[in-house]
Structure 1
Amino acid sequence: MSVTAPQGFEAAGVAVGLKSTGKPDVAVVVNRGPLKVAAAVFTSNRAKANPILWSQQVMHDGTVEAIVLNSGGANCFTGPFGFQTTHQTAEKAAELLEVSAGDILVCSTGLIGTGDEVFRSKVLEGTERGIAELSAEGGEAASLAIMTTDSVPKTSVHDGDGWKIGGMAKGAGMLAPGLATMLVVLTTDAVLAVDEADAHLRSATRVSFDRLDSDGCMSTNDQVSLLVSGASGVTPDPDAFRRALIEVCTDLAVQLQSDAEGASHDITIEVRGAATEDDAVEVGRSVARNNLFKAAIFGNDPNWGRVLAAIGTTGAAFDPYDVDVWMNGVRVCTAGGPDRPREEVDLTPRATSVLIDLRVGAESATIFTNDLTHDYVHENSAYSS
């Protein structure tokens, strides 16, 4: 049931023609309470879509009644008309739900730079129809409606001690930190205050969505929202809730990684032995964004020299001639030199692991990425066609 697994939530997904496929393209998620607490994190891209600009204003008081999401159009770089479209979407939802428009989050995903009266009318129609079809069983339909180039919906549910967390996500390209090109809605029926919800969400996204770096490209529309209904009446142990939220976010992030456009390998880069966690992240990301490394993995070539060359561009503390590297469990490099023969590394499975030991400290981090394939280039060369 995705976002409607926790108590206090209803959702819907409807098709209004924003997608040429005729598939669902507008989703609505409503928090029936009793709490209307929310937290959100947004893209760090300076170029922000109109729904992001609107939703950032909504989040000033930490109160959210509902969220409206559309696929089939990013509503980004569409000028005052685009912001008015977002505003009217919130007003339409508020009117039908009998709440304030200032408590309605709006999200959009799709092609940048397109938007007209037809787009606006379809989004408003989808908002109206979605609210009319709200139900406690509507979570799956909502998860389908937010898909763009995704091949499958992404959902996750965690059962806590008398409370639940539900989540849905979309994203298959432009996956890079600052949230990757994703829309994520998380829901919980636990009892949380605004500051608690915000702290938990930021802790979870920091080690999950912000560690997903599929292609190094940052979107304009990224948003991860957490809605809190408190309908269970249970105040969770803070550590237990934080761990559960990290689990759900990581599950969704890995699902996004596995559905990345054109990818043939899902690459998990673990960096350990770092002086600081930031160093570990920087080193892992340098490999994840190295096109020569990614091309090598696509070709099933365990070219560990590209790993060392990539990490050597960072400012992290380590001696490049005292680094160990494993690929799919085989130590191919030790102390900056060759170890086991490359022929021992099997890179034919989709799941690929790279372990880098910097041997200078006790900190670690994991980055999730993919290989660079012909299919990725083809799909993105014709994205707006």
Structure 2
Amino acid sequence: MSVTAAAGFEASGVVAGLKSSGAPDVALVVNRGRSTAAAAVFTSNRAKANPVLWSQQVIADGRVDAVVLNSGGANCFTGAFGFQTTHSTAETVAAALGVSATDVLVCSTGLIGVGDQTFRDKVLSGSTAAADALSVDGGLDAATAIMTTDTKPKQAVVSGDGWVVGGMAKGAGMLAPGLATMLVVLTTDADVDASGLDSALREATRVTFDRLDSDGCMSTNDTVVLLASAESGVAPPAGDFAAAVTALCADLAEQLQADAEGASHDIRIEIVGAASDDDAVEVGRSIARNNLFKAAVFGNDPNWGRVLAAIGTTSAEFDPYDVDVTINGVRVCHAGAPDRPSDDVDLTPRAVHVLVDLKTGPVEATILTNDLTHDYVHENSAYSS
């Protein structure tokens, strides 16, 4: 299960010294296929890191030969020097591979404000080393090198009819809609042009990564890129390809949720009976961002009143006294009033399912989140120390 599962791709992950732990911290994914079609989506945060600013220009023509990624420093709010570091990184990779720097996507993750000469030197030397280490078996190394506070690498593969989609992701904190704090590289050997890739990727991220809301905090570096080599020689129907990309993104999004910093519960908030998609998503996100509700789940307290209170802050169409709330299979609220006793709800398992029926229409949506724990507060209070 790796970013090199699709034919035509090589990857690597090396130690450049960016992390004090000595763990791998520079990764490279290269498309060696007959096609270099690509698509990408980025953070919607107005405060964008230098690699995002660079990569938005690179992807404009729908072609990408390589993606270089570093952990150990976000290269964000590092001024003109930081943007030049990104440009130099692309040039270093391009020289090693014999391609154009304007076809090299650059991604960074780590602490904001890190980007001095030492950082640049390590990223550039690591990029050269990563190019030398490329292998069709290098997917796991690459997935490991992009980790920051992640506890495990995240990889997934979905097989089509004679073609494959594979990918890797990183992310554990600052997970909120707008792509969450993630770097994701997806690859396929299907024969799909840049327009088809863009359509499939945007639909997939809309219902997966953009519906992962761990802590309501949006990052500056989020990037999700999809590369196609066409090495399978198969041009799948657009619907089949989009479904595979969505399934792959859903798998990776759930892995990100499961690795959220300090979380002890994975919460799936399912909204049904909504009048519109916007209503369903708004209600789900409101619950996912409600710290009182998330703290209650951490304490194994099925406090459904906090769910209704969160819903009430939205502009969605619903009658507060006609809403049902079910937690882990127990309907604790019916028509805005108590139903079965809260003591009937078992919140000791890690998986928590919250079902909210708005009873205003046929639309459904699911938002993924997690509980608010002591460990999350501690880890993020000491992140830069």
- Shorter-chain TM-score tier: over 0.9
* CA distance in structure 2 between the partners assigned to 1:159 and 1:285 by the alignment: 31
**What pairs with 1:297-316 in structure 2 (closer than 5 Å)?**
297-316=297-316
Deviation (angstroms), 1:259? 0.2
Deviation (angstroms), 1:336? 0.3
The residue number in structure 1 matching 2:68 is 68
Deviation (angstroms), 1:355? 0.2
Deviation (angstroms), 1:48? 0.2
Residues 113-159 of structure 1: per-residue CA shift (max 9 Å, x gap): 11111110110011100000101100110000000000000000011
Percent identity between the two aligned chains = 72
Q: Is 1:280 the equivalent of 2:280?
A: yes
The residue number in structure 2 matching 1:88 is 88
Amino acid at match of 1:188: T
Q: Is there any run of 5+ residues in structure 2 with no aligned partner, and where?
A: none
The residue number in structure 2 matching 1:271 is 271
The residue number in structure 2 matching 1:158 is 158
Deviation (angstroms), 1:16? 1.1
TM-score normalized with structure 2 length: 1.00
The residue number in structure 2 matching 1:127 is 127
Deviation (angstroms), 1:33? 1.4
SS, match of residue 110 in structure 1: coil
The residue number in structure 2 matching 1:23 is 23
* CA distance in structure 2 between the partners assigned to 1:114 and 1:97 by the alignment: 27
Q: Is 1:371 the equivalent of 2:371?
A: yes
The residue number in structure 1 matching 2:53 is 53
Aligned residues: CA RMSD:
0.5
Deviation (angstroms), 1:263? 0.5
The residue number in structure 2 matching 1:180 is 180
Deviation (angstroms), 1:350? 0.5
Deviation (angstroms), 1:241? 1.0
* CA distance in structure 2 between the partners assigned to 1:339 and 1:189 by the alignment: 52
Deviation (angstroms), 1:194? 1.0
* CA distance in structure 1 between the partners assigned to 2:346 and 2:38 by the alignment: 45
Residues 204-236 of structure 1: per-residue CA shift (max 9 Å, x gap): 000000000000000000000000100000001
Deviation (angstroms), 1:239? 1.1
The residue number in structure 2 matching 1:109 is 109
TM-score normalized with structure 1 length: 1.00
The residue number in structure 2 matching 1:292 is 292
SS, match of residue 297 in structure 2: helix
Deviation (angstroms), 1:102? 0.3
**What pairs with 1:104-253 in structure 2 (closer than 5 Å)?**
104-253=104-253
* CA distance in structure 1 between the partners assigned to 2:177 and 2:227 by the alignment: 22
Deviation (angstroms), 1:43? 0.1
The residue number in structure 2 matching 1:33 is 33
Deviation (angstroms), 1:76? 0.2
The residue number in structure 2 matching 1:344 is 344
SS, match of residue 113 in structure 2: coil
* CA distance in structure 1 between the partners assigned to 2:277 and 2:213 by the alignment: 17
Amino acid at match of 1:348: T
SS, match of residue 321 in structure 1: helix
Q: Is 1:330 the equivalent of 2:333?
A: no
* CA distance in structure 2 between the partners assigned to 1:241 and 1:198 by the alignment: 12
Aligned length: 385
Amino acid at match of 1:118: T
Residues 254-307 of structure 1: per-residue CA shift (max 9 Å, x gap): 000000001010000000000001100000000000000001000000000000
Residues 74-114 of structure 1: per-residue CA shift (max 9 Å, x gap): 00000001000000000001111111100000000000011
Residues 299-356 of structure 1: per-residue CA shift (max 9 Å, x gap): 0000000000000000000101000000000000000000000010000100000000
Deviation (angstroms), 1:240? 1.2
SS, match of residue 115 in structure 2: coil
SS, match of residue 320 in structure 2: coil
Amino acid at match of 1:344: D
Q: Is there any run of 5+ residues in structure 1 with no aligned partner, and where?
A: none
